[in-house]
Amino acid sequence: MSEILELSAAAAAGAVASGELDAGELFETYRARAAADQLNAFVWVAEAAPPAVAGPLGGVPLAVKDLFCTEGVPSQSGSRILAGYCPPYTATVVERLAADGAPLLGKTNQDEFAMGSSTENSAFGPVRNPWDRGRVPGGSSGGSAAAVAARLAPWALGTDTGGSIRQPAALCGIVGLKPTYGAVSRYGMIAFASSLDQAGPLTRDVTDAALLYSRMVGPRDPRDSTSLDFPGAIELPVRSDLAGVRIGVPAELSGDGIEAGVLSAFEATLELARALGASVEPCALPHAPHALAAYYVLAPAEASSNLARFDGVRYGYRSSDADELIGMYTQTRHDGFGAEVKRRIMLGTYALSSGYYDAFYGRAQRVRTKIAEDFAVGFERFDFIATPTAPGVAFELGAKTSDPLAMYLNDFCTVPMSLAGIPAISIPCGLAEPPGGGRALPVGFQLAGPAFSENTLLAAAFALEQALGFDGALASSAGDPTADQ
């Protein structure tokens, strides 16, 4: 069994294809582990393998973030208001992956409606980081990241709105790719902020990310107007050097506010990139420091509207404590939403209100445009832009729950790319001690490229990954994630 767990998803798919490994045994191995999950990474686990489907994904089971709709299977987006909700249809991307041979292993825990950076905002309890169970896995796709890092799942699907794939990937020592906006269908993803949400892979290594992502993109989904035809196919990366690759490093996102240990791992990785033949130069992103402020206007504004449908009328939780309409709405939403969701609904409602729209929403949109222009200018000189993924390593449970702004700062380095709609990948680049001392924890290295540059981005990340030799198996040295501690 442990030999199966050692296989990357791509290797497992290969073993299934060559007949060395039985797909049913593969599924059951992971199913049993997911069912014994002690990290609270899963909110639902399949009881048996679905009928086998031959395909390029080789029957390798897939963990899917709770917010993807899966027919007949709980899809709750981490919220009490959707507790027990089973949709009558399946999200396009989950459907495509299942058809290509990645059966649904389970649904993973997340921050409620993807709002959070620690997965502590889940109605179903916080997720533990497999490297240190006293610490958070990051968020909002914390369940997916923890499950992959702990080998409870071979690979997983997450979503990224302002960093929700990349930051938990960084904190859990795995690979996370946020695609170009529009590359993956959003149909069936329970929306947080429509103009930013993108589905992407969370995997053990870059090759797995490329393999899973290769089946997520494709012809545009006629059910998602904002989806696009991906130009060409995603190829498995083979590059081993970075000769001629120009990497820009924005001082705005790699200086102040970054933990020393993270910064040194980041800088060591830049040195490695140079050694592989890349040029590394400073790159200006003058508006990037304003990204977080713009993001926390735009994303809550969209969320305040996207979450209006949770009104107790048609599905999900409804308060029985009211005898008229407004009371029913109020009590249902009061009981059904957690504090962070309510905070963002209020922020967004305010930002869209008559008389405030131009000062908040309108202005934030202009900042967004400026940020996209900064990147466009940057990509005239550079192939990629590199930053630390998160300003720090995994923090302790409860450390930031009472300080929303400190929590929001986790997305400082990832939000600019989200606003610009460009792809970015986080790969583990080393370990660093947390500020208060203790066991060394993973650090993420973020590489961003122009829209639809995923192939070159994955290739460069692969070359770095080979040179870095990061050992993700170290996570399990903190203890068996299927055993109580």
- Token pair 């799942």 in the structure block, residue: 153
Map residues 64-103 to x or -, x wherever contact with other proteins holds by CB under 8 A.
Answer: ---xxx-----x-x----x--x-xxx-x------------
369 interacts with other proteins by CB under 8 A: no
Map residues 246-285 to x or -, x wherever contact with other proteins holds by CB under 8 A.
Answer: ----------------------------------------
Mark the segment that binds other proteins (CB under 8 A) among 10-18, 40-48, 218-226, 250-258.
218-226
Map residues 220-249 to x or -, x wherever contact with other proteins holds by CB under 8 A.
Answer: --xxxxx-----------------------
Q: How far is CA 482 from CA 6, 43, 78, 128, in A?
A: 16, 15, 22, 12
From CA 236, how far away is CA 233, in angstroms rounded? 10
- Catalytic choice (164, 185, 227, 418): 164
Q: In terms of CB distance, is 160 or 465 closer to other proteins?
A: 160
361 interacts with other proteins by CB under 8 A: yes
Q: In terms of CB distance, is 52 or 322 closer to other proteins?
A: 322
Beta-carbon count within 10 A of 235 CB: 12
Residue 253: CB minimum distance to other proteins, A = 25
Residue 305: CB minimum distance to other proteins, A = 5
Active site residue 164: yes
From CA 215, how far away is CA 185, in angstroms rounded? 12
Q: In terms of CB distance, is 103 or 188 closer to other proteins?
A: 188
158 interacts with other proteins by CB under 8 A: no
Q: In terms of CB distance, is 309 or 366 closer to other proteins?
A: 309
From CA 288, how far away is CA 299, in angstroms rounded? 16
318 interacts with other proteins by CB under 8 A: no
206 interacts with other proteins by CB under 8 A: no
From CA 135, how far away is CA 81, in angstroms rounded? 27
List the alpha helices (DSSP H) in 117-246: 142-149, 166-172, 206-214
**Residues near 377 by Cβ (< 8 Å), separated by ≥ 6?**
none
- Percentage helix, strand, coil for the chain under 3-state DSSP, each rounded to 5: 40, 15, 45
Long-range pairs, 463-467, Cβ under 8 A, ≥24 = 463/237, 463/239, 463/240, 463/241, 463/242, 463/276, 464/242, 464/269, 464/272, 464/273, 464/276, 464/427, 464/429, 465/175, 465/205, 465/206, 465/427, 466/240, 467/272, 467/275, 467/276
313 interacts with other proteins by CB under 8 A: yes
Q: In terms of CB distance, is 178 or 186 closer to other proteins?
A: 186
What is the radius of gyration, based on Cα positions, of the chain?
21
Of 227, 286, 242, residue with least CA distance to 452? 227
Mark the segment that binds other proteins (CB under 8 A) among 217-225, 409-417, 435-443, 444-452.
217-225
329 interacts with other proteins by CB under 8 A: yes
Active site residue 370: no
**Residues near 286 by Cβ (< 8 Å), separated by ≥ 6?**
252, 374
Active site residue 65: yes
**Which residue in 272, 301, 385, 407 binds other proteins (CB under 8 A)?**
301
294 interacts with other proteins by CB under 8 A: no
Retrieve residue 97's tokens: 């992956």
Query: With contact defined as beta carbons under 8 Å apart, do 291 and 371 qualify?
Result: yes
Residue 144: CB minimum distance to other proteins, A = 17
59 interacts with other proteins by CB under 8 A: no
- Catalytic choice (8, 140, 214, 453): 140
Length of the chain: 485
- The binding site for other proteins (CB under 8 A) comprises 67-69, 75, 77, 82, 85, 87-89, 91, 186-191, 193-195, 222-226, 301-302, 304-305, 307-311, 313-315, 325, 329, 349, 352-354, 357, 361
Catalytic residues: 65, 140, 164
